[in-house]
Every structure is written in C-alpha cells, then in structure tokens.
C-alpha cells in the first residue's frame, strides 16, 4: 500500500464531511451563531497554515495561504465577528498540535495532508450549504469558492511524501493521524460551544 492509500485510510476515520457540525451546515440547520463561533475560532488555525509551507521551504504557497487567510477574515467580518485567540479548549489544542507538527518537514507534510486532502470536499459542501440555506451576503463565499476545487496543494504534498525515507513516511503518517483527530475535535468543541446537539 502506497503512502497516499495509507494516509487516506487513516483519514477515513476522521472524515470531516461526516462530522455533525458540517452535516448540520450542509442541511442548513446550523445556526448563524454557530457559523460565527466557527469563523472566529477556526480562523486562528487558518492563519497559521502558512507556517507549514514555510517549514517546507515553499514561499509561494505560504504567500497563497496568507491571501486565503484574508478571505477567511472577510468571511468572519461578514458574520460581524473577527478572528481571535481561541477560547475553546479543542481549538487551542488544534493550534498547539499544528505548531508542534509544523516543526519538521516530515511531520508538516503529514499534518498538512490531513487538512489539504479534505479541504476541497469540505469547502464545496460548505459553499453549497451557504448558497442553499443561508440568506447571507455573498461576501461569505470567496474562501470556500477558492478551495472547493483546490487540489494542487494536496498533490504537491503527496509528491513530497513520496520522496521521504520509510522512517520519515512513518513520522508523516503519525502526524496525519494527530492532525486529523485534532481537526475533528475542534469541530466538536465549536459544536458544543454553540449548544448544538
């Protein structure tokens, strides 16, 4: 089994599209309050993604991530909130986990894959949900529009993963699992903060 198959098998356990938070978003049963908490809390994670690309020595993609973070800020502002220091335990843990994993190239690749491999599908689902169920300004949409077809980052990560030694690939796999679980738990924390059942 190649590295992609191993990582994808691991991610299936933490498939974010199956999380109740994103399921509610897709169905239009997620409250505006919940979207607002999400925009504020999760934005702190979006803001540090460029650090991962900097660890990989990819200044071009790091710059792209800064531009994407600005789109997230637009999303938050449209919901009358702003990105803040995370208040939810699981979101703080996600940030701490990310910073720790972004400390070496092998663990960065695994951690980034956990997010980037899922992002196009989750972004499309969220974009569809916003358009179908929420009467919000179209200013909430650009971040999700950009990412709904953004496969090039996960492809770039896979190319780099293929070049790692078996030991480094093992480190990347472990990091992928840690990040995937942290992403899932962050959504759970936001869900609980928003008093969703």
Q: What is the pLDDT of residue 151?
A: 85
Local confidence band at 6 (pLDDT 50, 70, 90 cut-offs): very high
DSSP letter (8 states) at residue 104: S
What is the tens place of the pLDDT at every residue in 72-83? Answer: 999 999 999 999
Task: Categorize the per-residue pLDDT at 101 as very low, low, confident or very high, splitting at 50, 70 and 90.
Answer: very high
Q: Do residues 55 and 104 touch, judged by C-beta distance below 8 A?
A: yes
Token pair, residue 160, equals 């780099």
Q: According to the model, what pLDDT value does residue 197 have?
A: 44
**Residue-level pLDDT at 13:** 96
Q: Encoding tokens for residue 148?
A: 């709904």
The percent of residues in the chain predicted with pLDDT above 70, rounded, is 99
Q: What percent of the chain has pLDDT above 90?
A: 92
Instruction: Dump pLDDT digits (tens) for 26-42.
Output: 999 999 999 999 999 99
**Average pLDDT, integer, range 100-127:** 97
Structure confidence by residue, pLDDT tens digits, 154-196: 999 999 999 999 999 999 999 999 999 999 999 999 999 987 5
Kind and range of the H or E element at 153?
helix 152-162
How far is the CA of 177 from the CAs of 72, 83, 165, 191, in angstroms? 25, 26, 18, 21
pLDDT tens, residue by residue, 52-61: 999 999 999 9
Average pLDDT rounded to a whole number, residues 5-34: 96
Does position 50 have pLDDT exceeding 50, yes or no?
A: yes
Residues 67, 146 contacting (CB under 8 angstroms): no
CB atoms within 10 A of CB 42: 22
Residue with token string 């030991």 = 167
Backbone angles phi, psi at 154, to 5 degrees: -70, -35
Q: Token pair for residue 24?
A: 């509610």
Domains along the chain?
Answer: 31-192 (1.20.910.10)
Opening angle at CA 51, ends 73 and 74, nearest 5: 5
Cα pseudo-dihedral 40, 42, 44, 49, rounded to 10: -150
Per-residue confidence band for 149, with pLDDT thresholds at 50, 70 and 90: confident
Beta carbons within 8 Å of 94's beta carbon, 6+ residues apart:
45, 86, 182, 183, 185, 186
């Amino acid at each position: 089994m190649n590295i992609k198959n191993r990582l994808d098998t691991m991610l299936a356990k933490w498939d974010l599209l199956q999380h109740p938070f994103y399921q509610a978003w897709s169905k239009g049963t997620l409250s505006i309050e919940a979207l607002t908490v999400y925009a504020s809390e999760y934005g702190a994670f979006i803001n540090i993604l460029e650090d991962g690309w900097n660890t990989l020595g990819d200044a071009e993609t790091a710059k792209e991530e800064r531009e994407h973070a600005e789109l997230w800020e637009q999303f938050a502002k449209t919901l009358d909130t702003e990105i803040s220091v995370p208040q939810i335990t699981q979101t703080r843990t996600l940030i701490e986990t990310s910073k720790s994993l972004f400390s070496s190239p092998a663990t960065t690749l695994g951690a980034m894959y956990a997010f980037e491999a899922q992002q196009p599908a989750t972004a499309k689902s969220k974009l569809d949900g916003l358009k179908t169920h929420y009467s919000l300004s179209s200013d909430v949409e650009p971040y999700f529009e950009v990412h709904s077809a953004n496969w090039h980052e996960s492809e770039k990560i896979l190319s780099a993963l293929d070049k790692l030694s078996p030991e480094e690939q093992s480190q990347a796999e472990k990091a992928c699992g840690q990040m995937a679980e942290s992403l899932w738990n962050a959504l759970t924390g936001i869900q609980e903060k928003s008093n969703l059942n």
